[in-house]
Amino acid sequence: MVLLLAVAHLISNQISPVFRQKFDFNLEGNVPNWFSTILLFCIAANSFRIYQADSGTQNRNRINQLFWGVMSAAFLFLSLDEGAQLHEIFKDVQRAKWIFVYAPFVILFIFLTYYYLYCESCDQSLKRWITWGLILYISGAFLFELITYLLHPLTPVLQEAEYVIEESFEMTGAILILVGTQQYLEKQEESPS
């Protein structure tokens, strides 16, 4: 799906301005934006389901609940941000670049995620899915955005490449996280409580 959206974005200039609006990775309120919003919302929903399942058991260690509660809230916010274009609104009313405002929250989330995945007895398959998913998602969302900010202005060809790489990394990372949470939920439902 990500590959199809990337191809649609790249060929959209040759087809028509209307097609370009529907598939441009840099625009909001179109097919790639909708797809990303749905992916992020599904991760939030799966994380909340895991949080609820963990709250039903007698965990001595509440780090599981904390992690899945924060994961659900974080991806719900990201879904809202993607769908309602919050960071674009923030950019218009503030002088600070949105990545610098979000950065402390991302750093705290990374520390919590690292602790949960690598210091607790976490499912190995889930660990791989979430780790690779977050690496791709954060690389797309922050690293490429930071590169664009530091090297501004980019040539039109480099800017186009940046859009495709950034959004493709974000969507692919979200898909990996979604697959990991879905598989984890399926394992939880199969195992007797």
> How many structural domains comprise the chain?
1
> Would you say residue 66 lies in a domain?
yes
Question: Please, which contacts does 145-151 make with residues 24 or more away whose CB atoms are closer than 8 Å?
Answer: 145/99, 146/99, 149/97, 149/99
Which pLDDT score, from 0 to 100, does residue 92 have? Answer: 63
Q: What angle do CA 50, 52, 56 make, to 5 degrees?
A: 115
Which pLDDT score, from 0 to 100, does residue 95 have? Answer: 67
> Would you say residue 14 lies in a domain?
no
Find tokens 């309602």 and name the residue. 84
Residue 136 CB-half CA count within 13 A: 18
Which pLDDT score, from 0 to 100, does residue 57 have? Answer: 64
> Would you say residue 13 lies in a domain?
no
> Would you say residue 152 lies in a domain?
yes
Which pLDDT score, from 0 to 100, does residue 78 have? Answer: 93
pLDDT digits (tens, 9 = 90+) for 156-174: 888 888 889 999 999 999 9
Residues 62-76 have a mean pLDDT of: 92
Of 40, 80, 51, which Cα lies nearest the Cα of 173? Answer: 40
> Would you say residue 19 lies in a domain?
no
> Would you say residue 144 lies in a domain?
yes
Q: Where does 21-116 show beta strands of DSSP type E?
A: none
pLDDT digits (tens, 9 = 90+) for 9-65: 999 888 999 999 999 998 888 999 999 999 999 999 999 999 998 776 655 567 888
Residues 184-193 have a mean pLDDT of: 82
> Would you say residue 82 lies in a domain?
yes
Q: How far is CA 101 from the centre of its chain?
A: 17
Q: How far is CA 154 from the centre of its chain?
A: 24
> Would you say residue 134 lies in a domain?
yes
pLDDT digits (tens, 9 = 90+) for 97-132: 667 777 888 899 999 999 999 888 788 999 999 999
pLDDT > 70? residue 177? yes
Return the DSSP state at 60. S
pLDDT > 90? residue 93? no
Which pLDDT score, from 0 to 100, does residue 21 have? Answer: 94
Domain with 113, as residue range(s), is 32-190
Which pLDDT score, from 0 to 100, does residue 63 have? Answer: 83
Which pLDDT score, from 0 to 100, does residue 141 have? Answer: 85
pTM above 0.85? yes
